[in-house]
């Protein structure tokens, strides 16, 4: 179940580097987690929702994941999740989930800015790799 986190920073999260730095600590966790980050038009954090998963995946419906983002009045969102395996590359399931989230966000008038995967051996921005443009499966 999604758990809201308290708003703790006022530094804009404007790039994949910013997101990877803020959430690098997730790489150390033994299970996958997904953080849904709601942002205002300046890139300031409005809300974070943490969804805990299993060793190899996080199962969450887009509506559940976006509830706090919508309630916060955010203009955009970003996704960050970890790979406990240490490999920072997104899986096919990660790309498909991102497509579903992007479609749901669009329906709500929100922009999905990025989905960053963090791991002990690096991180990956799906936006920088052009993976946000793929249609949902």
| Residue 6 confidence (pLDDT) above 80 | no
Question: In Å, what is the CA distance from 83 to each residue of 4, 18, 42, 55, 59?
Answer: 21, 18, 29, 9, 14
Annotate 47-111 with DSSP letters as a single string: EEEEEE--SS-----HHHHHHHHHHHT-SEEEEEEE-TTS--SPPHHHHHHHHHHHHHHHHTT-E
- The CATH code that applies to domain 7-133 is 3.40.140.10
Strand partners, 82: 118
Torsions phi, psi of 74, nearest 5?
A: -60, 150
Whole-structure pTM value? 0.88
41-98 per-position pLDDT tens digit = 999 999 999 998 877 778 888 998 999 999 999 999 999 999 999 999 999 999 999 9
End-to-end Cα separation, the chain, in angstroms: 23
The domains of the chain are located at 7-133
Confidence of residue 136 (pLDDT cuts 50, 70, 90): very low
What is the mean predicted confidence (pLDDT) over 24-39?
A: 95
What is the mean predicted confidence (pLDDT) over 94-103?
A: 93
Do residues 128 and 20 make contact, with C-beta atoms less than 8 angstroms apart?
no
């Amino acid at each position: 179940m999604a758990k809201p986190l308290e708003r703790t920073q006022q530094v804009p999260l404007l790039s994949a580097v910013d997101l990877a730095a803020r959430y690098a600590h997730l790489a150390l966790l033994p299970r996958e987690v997904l953080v849904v980050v709601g942002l205002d038009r300046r890139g300031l954090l409005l809300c974070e929702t943490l969804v805990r998963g299993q060793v190899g995946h996080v199962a969450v419906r887009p509506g559940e994941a976006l509830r706090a983002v919508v309630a916060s009045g955010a203009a955009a969102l970003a996704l960050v999740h970890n790979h406990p395996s240490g490999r920072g590359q997104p899986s096919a399931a990660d790309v498909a989930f991102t497509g579903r989230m992007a479609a749901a966000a669009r329906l709500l008038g929100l922009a999905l800015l990025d989905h960053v995967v963090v791991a002990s051996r690096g991180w990956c921005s799906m936006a920088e790799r052009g993976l946000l443009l793929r249609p949902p499966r």
